[in-house]
Structure 1
Amino acid sequence: MEANINMSQEVQNNEQLERTMTFFPALSTVMGTVIGAGVFFKAASVAAVTGDSSLHMFSWFLGGLISVCAGLTAAELAAAIPETGGMIKYIERAYGKFAAFLLGWAQVIIYFPANVAALAIIFGTQFVNLFALDSKLVLPIGIISAVSIMLLNFLGSKAGGRIQSISLVCKLIPLALIVIFGLLRQGDVDVSLIPIEAGKNISGGFFPALGAGLLATMFAYDGWIHVGNLAGELKNPSKDLPKSIAVGIVGVMIVYLLVNWAFLGQLPMDQLAGNETAAMDVSNKLFGDMGGKLVTIGILVSVYGTINGYTMTGMRLPYVMGLNNDLPFSEKLVKLNKNKIPYIAGVLELVIAVLLMLSGSFDMLTDMLVFVIWIFYTLVFIAVIKLRKVEPDLERPYKVPLYPILPIIAILGGVFILVMTLINQFSLAITGIIITLLGTPIYMYKKKNK
């Protein structure tokens, strides 16, 4: 009962948000939400699947362009349906409760735990390399990092918020140093941007390589779907929302292109491809051994903070679904500790994350979560067009510019990513689909009981 009262108060508060936010706070929120650990570590996997600096850079550029169109498109629904639950509410409005449940299920079982698992593996890998420890310690250190963050969050939302504030600064400092010194220091590697082509050692040709490259970059660009939730707090959403999204994601894209240019200028493609310590290697080249270690420590703090962000938000989703009695043992998932934190929901997400850590690598986990979430992202883009026809009288404080061109670009980008993943990584894609569909009997059972 207490949990239900707390949730009703939370919903009421969200419906009475004050419109005090202007353009620049919205812009910083966009960039801070999107920029995470992916920019430091996805360069290695993009290089591995593209095989050439031209296609490598083009994948980052095209990923940013699709993200701009995606963000501007999804923001229309965020402004029109500013309800607690975000994307789940958009999907429910357009496709019904079953599709919304599958999205929530996929986020609980795959999206949030896989993010935590993948980032924890990266944290363990960088920690082991920084202090020259045995590689067998990667997994234990990764698990310890995830557990420690969960325990800190159990202390209350303020503890999690402080970690986010500290990690934001530590995230920006290494980025700025790598970009500035990477561009100033003349590397000994020739970087070619034209013609855009896949590496000669890449099997399958240009489009499969581009699809794999896009899938990898989308982990780094992920987060734009949440920026539309600012609509209820903006003074002028019709003007500032599209501007903050467009300028913010373009800004992120520029940062990512500059970081990758710095990487490519210091490491040949064959040394960058698949190199999990590429960020450390580039830092050592730019700043020497000690300077490189300091930058790597900054990156570690950044990764720790990104894990914290997904932990904070991830544990609240099974809690909300538990309030709706959508999941097994819902009565347990809504329990709060003395600091008003849904601790059992948090333990559930942590257990799934640890199991995923034991089962896969960073790239496998991120590719699977990107594939699954882009199924629903693409449905959101289609929903914008669908609701324009089905609910023409729905109040839309913001409408996507250049309609229907931008939604169509977003839809085509999403379909391309999904199709290329099915072609390139069929077993991974099917695994993600099967895990998502496993929620069907649970939905049917719960619906029958309700």
Structure 2
Amino acid sequence: MPNKENDGLVDHPSRKKKISFFSAILVVMGSSIGAGIFFRSEQVLKNSQNSLILAIFCWVIAAFSVIAMGLALVEISSVRNDNLSLLGWTKTFNKRKIFKASKNFMLYLYLPLNLFYMPLYFIMSLQDGLGALMNKEAATFGTNVDWLLWTLISIGVSLYFMIVSGLNSKIGNIQNKIFTYIKFIPLVIVSVVGIALVGLNAGGSINIGFEKPTININGNLINDSLEKGASFSLFFPGIGMFLSISAIFFTYDGFYVAAGIQSEMKEPKKTPMVILFGLVITTIIYLIVAVSMSINGGSFSNMRTYMESEWKDIGRILFGLVNIMIAIGVIGIINSYSIWMPRYAENLIKEGEVPFSIKFKDKLNEDRPIVGVVFYVIWTIPLVIIFTLIGALAYINNYKDVYGSGMGKLYTFADLIATWMSMFTFLFIVTAIFGGIINRKTNKIQTNKSSYFLFTAWICVIVIGLSSLITILMPFIDLVMIALLNKNEIKAVGRDYEEIVIGRIMLVVTLFINAFLTFGIQFIEDKIIVKKYGSIAKYEEWQKENFQI
């Protein structure tokens, strides 16, 4: 997976170890800190029944499990001296089916869908920023098809980075450095502004206990019940905590790349301390930012009212500029993935892991991965269009009705997909770590054993496993809860009964689409392989003879 500080693509086994202790900490922080904190704080607070204490507890537990995962991965990553990250670990410590599933997940879902929800987060921040500068709630086109116009812009943004950064990593890396420097500025400003507003008694209030379950209807929080269409999870803080933890994983997405940093360090033995310090500092920064937003409406978007009330036009302009910088930070993430995606595809083609690899293996170019770019353009654009149609036309709206037609639904759907992608990524890493736990008993694979591995490994397996399980089960529980919906109660609070039902159905349908692209495709491929080659073993022999394995 791409490191947000560099393209994370090329193996350098002969490179001299030159990264110092403090430089390595910065690498860990750079690969962890992104724009996700600005899009998850409110969701975590909502899942915590608007209790600041429970929300902070969720952040701490999630951070603790992430740190445990990072430390456990030091032993897992010691087996391989490459940058394959997730794929390398599942290939080494898990059976073929898990490795193939993780490969399909990365190839067909994780990477292309990053170019679905990341451009939407860019657009949402841009709408907030430009809207504030124009003294409007949000910048819109004012049409009945705003979602379509913004989708065309998001596709244009993705195509630019896929083609320009994908084909020319030098340009991509220059852009990456600029975006990286900018993304840290909003973190500082939001923290200072949030605390200042409370200090001036201009901010929101701090809720220590639990509030009655609420649901966001066109920007208004309304006390809710199952009859009115609330999610089952809102009534049980324990369930909400695990859902919050799954959402928080998105804010750390990418940190695991740093687990392999030991091969680049002057003192590899200090790798655990580097990961520990880097993630602890990241967590402290996240907690400060999350608390600053939570006590001022839950998100930076909600802080605008307080900023304008206290500082008038200066507050409005500052709000607009910060949002534009957040948008630029999101663009940096799109740029990073665009550098890595085509090269990732070509690496898999070299190993015969992509359909029709035999036809393209001699046409690959490491410096200009044209084959990889074409592959992802052909696959990503239709997938983005399909998910956009599902989100804009058949999902629910948890955002204010100020972003234009269909955009609130799209942003809600983007939150869901982003959470799932991060959750499944962490779940696959957990399977590799669990394989490492089993390997401690069998000793089939030689690793650099650490005294803390089993403790940290079991922590992340339990916490991340439970969070993932509950996050996957909740859509099915809410689907069953449709039987409790009351049309009159729903209508009384201004909601649409059909929208709730369709939204919950599409949530489960989308989950099945994800499962099919992760596991179903491999099942079909194996059937074709057995029919053509006689057995999987014979195919793998042919694969070794014809590809770089």
Shift of 1:336: 4.7
Give the corresponding residue for 1:442.
525
Kindly tell me: are residues 81 and 359 of structure 1, through their superposed partners in 2, closer, same or farther at Cα, counting changes over 3 Å?
same
Matches for 1:19-30 after TM superposition, within 5 Å: 19-30=17-28
State which of 423, 437, 440 in structure 2 corresponds to 1:388: 440
Cα 1:393/1:305, change in 2 over 3 Å? closer
Given the alignment, which residue of 349, 357, 371 partners 2:423? 371
Partner secondary structure for residue 253 of structure 1: helix
> Is the 1:118–1:357 contact (alpha carbons within 8 Å) kept by the matching residues of 2?
no
How many residues get paired? Answer: 429
Mark the runs of 5 or more structure 1 residues left unpaired by the alignment: 1-9
For 1:44-443, list aligned pairs within 5 A.
44-52=42-50, 53-131=52-130, 132-134=139-141, 135-136=146-147, 137-186=149-198, 187-193=202-208, 197=210, 200-201=213-214, 203-239=234-270, 241-267=271-297, 272=299, 277-278=301-302, 288-330=315-357, 331-332=359-360, 335-336=363-364, 340-341=368-369, 342-348=372-378, 350-351=380-381, 352-360=383-391, 361-391=413-443, 394-396=446-448, 399-426=449-476, 427=508, 429-440=511-522, 441-443=524-526
Contact 1:63-1:221 at 8 Å conserved across structures:
no
User: TM-score scaled to structure 2, two decimals?
Assistant: 0.72
**Cα distance change on mapping 1:434 and 1:278 into 2, 3 Å:** farther
Paired AA for residue 189 in structure 1: G
Q: Is the 8 A contact 1:46 1:56 kept in 2?
A: yes
Which SS does the other structure have where 2:191 is aligned? helix
Give 2:493's aligned residue.
Answer: none
State the TM-score, normalized to the length of structure 1.
0.87
Point out where structure 2 has 5 or more consecutive residues left out of the alignment.
1-8, 131-138, 215-232, 392-412, 477-507, 534-538, 543-549
Q: Which structure has the greater CA radius of gyration?
A: 2
- Is the Cα contact below 8 Å between 1:369 and 1:432 reproduced in 2? no
Q: Aligned partner of 1:19: which letter?
A: K
| Preserved CA contact (<8 Å) 2:186 2:326 | yes
Report the aligned-residue RMSD. 2.7
Question: Whole-Å Cα distance in 1 between the matches of residues 305 and 444 of structure 2?
Answer: 54
Partner of 1:14: 12
Q: Which residue of 2 aligns with 1:39?
A: 37
| CA deviation after TM superposition for structure 1 residue 333, in Å | 7.7
Shift in Å at residue 305 of structure 1? 0.4
Query: In 2, Cα distance between the equivalents of 1:347 and 1:34?
Result: 27
CA contact (8 A) 2:129 2:321 kept: no
Give the C-alpha shift of residue 304 in structure 1: 0.4
**How far apart, in 1, do the equivalents of 2:305 and 2:74 lie?**
39
CA-CA distance at 1:89 after TM superposition: 1.8
Aligned equivalents of 2:102, 2:443: Cα separation in 1 = 22
Q: Distance in 2 between matches of 1:282 and 1:425?
A: 35
- CA–CA separation in structure 1 for the residues paired with 2:237 and 2:49: 10
CA deviation after TM superposition for structure 1 residue 214, in Å: 1.1
Which whole-Å CA distance do the structure 1 matches of 2:354 and 2:22 have between them? 39
State the secondary structure of the residue aligned to 2:78. helix
Identity %: 20
Is the CA contact 1:314–1:349 (under 8 Å) kept in the aligned structure 2? Answer: no
Which is worse superposed, 13-22 or 288-297? 13-22
User: Would you tell me which structure has more helix in proportion to its own residues?
Assistant: 1
Contact 2:115 2:334 in 1 (8 A): yes
